[in-house]
Structure formats: structure tokens, C-alpha cells
């Protein structure tokens, strides 16, 4: 009986220890550094985050100035590519309302450097962007008879009654025909369909080694 009671006590104690170990392990995995990026993300790594805030050890990519004395590892990677004076401060990438574009010189594309910005939300087309073209001006030809009267005189009634449908002109005249301008000259959007999300950058974690 004594042995049975001792064995039962040992099993209960072991069960309690095991449960405690499991809870502690679960707590560490839920709230520890690994869950928030420290030690697992790479310093300078940028990714999308669906919330409107940044996790611990990450910061939103909003172009903010960072003190070099506090973030020396990150500064050694970014430098002043995205801003800062390089003595006391450096800047994070500013991706508010922007999308990243791969650096380099792709086939048939303009070269892109890190930190370079470009593009516009709206675009107004001018005549310089239109293909070369022309507009036709149309008018209806009518028959006319030249009058021998002076400028101050009109054709006599006999001539008018004889040809009532034919206008009378004196000599020849020339004029310039032109077409009217059309369009409202309003800017148009040059954006693909989009959805707002937040870019974040890793401040503390694994230091990247150059390959």
C-alpha cells in the first residue's frame, strides 16, 4: 500500500512538472523574441504587414530619421541611401504611398539605383506625347457668279431674278479655316488597382553576411 501511494505521488509530481514545462515552452514561443522577429529576421529586411502598427524590433518604412549611435548595425547596412546626414542620423526607406522597384538595368529598361524615386499619381498628356497627325477641315462647295458692280452696288434685279439660287460675289477672296480645340486638359490617374498595406523594416535580428 505504501509503495502504491509513493508511486502515485511520483506520477502526480511528474505530471505537474511536465505540464509546467509545456506551458513555459508555449509561453516562450508565443511571446518570445522568435515570434516578434528578433533573432529570426534579417536586419534591413523589408516586408508587408497587414496591421497599421509595427511589431517589436520592426519599424514602419516612413522615412523617419534614426540615431546612428543607437542603430549602428542597421546604419552599416543602409548608410545614407535613404537620407540622413551620415554623422548622427540616417533615414529609413519611405514607402508611404509607393511601391518598390527592383534596382539595376533590366533589358530595355532605364537603370534604377537604390533610394531613387520616380513616377506620379496623375498624368496630363500634352501635344508632345501625341502621335503626329492632322485634322481635316470640310466645307461645301457652291456655285457663284461674279458681279460687275462695284463694292457699294448690288446686282440689278434682272440678274437676281434670273438666277435667284446663285449668290453673287465681287472678285475673289481668301480666308483661313481652322478647327476648334476640344478636351478639358484634366489629369488622369496612372495607377493600377491597389490596396493599402504597411511596409516594415527589421531593426534588430540576424546581421546579413555578404555572399
| SS3 (DSSP) at 85 | coil
Q: Can you say how many angstroms the Cα of residue 17 is from the centroid of all Cα atoms in its chain?
A: 55
> What is the spatial distance between Cα 117 and Cα 97, in angstroms, rounded to a whole number?
12
Closest CA to 198 of 86, 47, 68: 47
CA atoms lying within 13 Å on the CB side of residue 55 = 18
Per-residue model confidence (pLDDT) at position 48? 97
Helices (H), the chain: 2-31, 33-36, 72-78, 157-162
DSSP tag of 128: G
CATH of domain 34-98+195-211: 3.90.1340.10
> What is the spatial distance between Cα 86 and Cα 65, in angstroms, rounded to a whole number?
11
The H or E element spanning position 25 is: helix 2-31
30: number of Cβ within 10 Å: 9
> What is the spatial distance between Cα 17 and Cα 39, in angstroms, rounded to a whole number?
29
Per-residue model confidence (pLDDT) at position 79? 97
Phi-psi category of residue 39: left, alpha or beta, with phi > 0 → left and psi -120 to 50 → alpha: left
Q: β-strands 65-67, 89-91: how paired?
A: antiparallel
DSSP tag of 40: T
* Integer CA distances (angstroms), 123 to 42, 62, 119, in order: 38, 25, 9
| SS3 (DSSP) at 112 | strand
CB 184 within 8 A of CB 40: no
* Integer CA distances (angstroms), 67 to 130, 158, 167, 190, 206, in order: 49, 101, 88, 37, 20
DSSP tag of 127: G
| pLDDT by residue, tens only, the chain of 211 residues | 545 444 445 444 444 444 333 222 333 333 334 434 445 899 999 999 999 999 999 999 999 999 999 999 999 999 999 999 999 999 999 999 999 999 999 999 999 999 999 988 887 877 777 788 777 776 666 555 555 555 545 555 545 555 555 555 555 556 666 666 766 777 777 778 889 999 999 999 999 998 7
Amino acid at each position: 500500500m505504501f509503495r502504491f501511494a509513493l508511486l502515485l505521488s511520483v506520477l502526480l509530481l511528474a505530471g505537474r512538472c511536465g505540464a509546467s514545462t509545456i506551458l513555459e515552452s508555449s509561453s516562450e514561443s508565443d511571446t518570445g523574441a522568435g515570434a516578434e522577429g528578433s533573432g529570426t529576421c534579417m536586419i534591413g529586411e523589408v516586408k508587408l504587414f497587414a496591421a497599421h502598427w509595427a511589431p517589436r524590433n520592426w519599424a514602419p518604412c516612413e522615412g523617419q530619421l534614426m540615431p546612428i549611435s543607437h542603430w549602428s548595425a542597421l546604419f552599416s547596412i543602409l548608410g545614407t541611401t535613404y537620407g540622413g546626414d551620415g554623422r548622427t542620423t540616417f533615414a529609413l526607406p519611405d514607402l508611404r504611398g509607393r511601391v518598390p522597384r527592383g534596382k539595376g538595368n533590366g533589358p530595355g529598361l532605364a537603370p534604377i539605383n537604390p533610394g531613387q524615386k520616380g513616377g506620379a499619381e496623375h498624368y496630363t498628356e500634352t501635344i508632345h506625347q501625341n502621335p503626329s497627325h492632322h485634322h481635316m477641315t470640310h466645307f461645301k462647295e457652291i456655285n457663284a457668279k461674279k458681279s460687275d458692280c462695284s463694292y457699294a452696288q448690288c446686282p440689278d434685279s434682272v440678274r437676281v431674278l434670273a438666277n435667284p439660287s446663285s449668290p453673287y460675289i465681287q472678285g475673289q477672296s481668301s480666308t483661313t479655316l481652322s478647327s476648334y480645340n476640344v478636351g478639358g486638359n484634366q489629369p488622369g490617374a496612372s495607377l493600377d488597382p491597389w490596396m493599402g498595406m504597411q511596409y516594415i523594416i527589421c531593426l534588430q535580428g540576424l546581421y546579413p553576411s555578404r555572399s
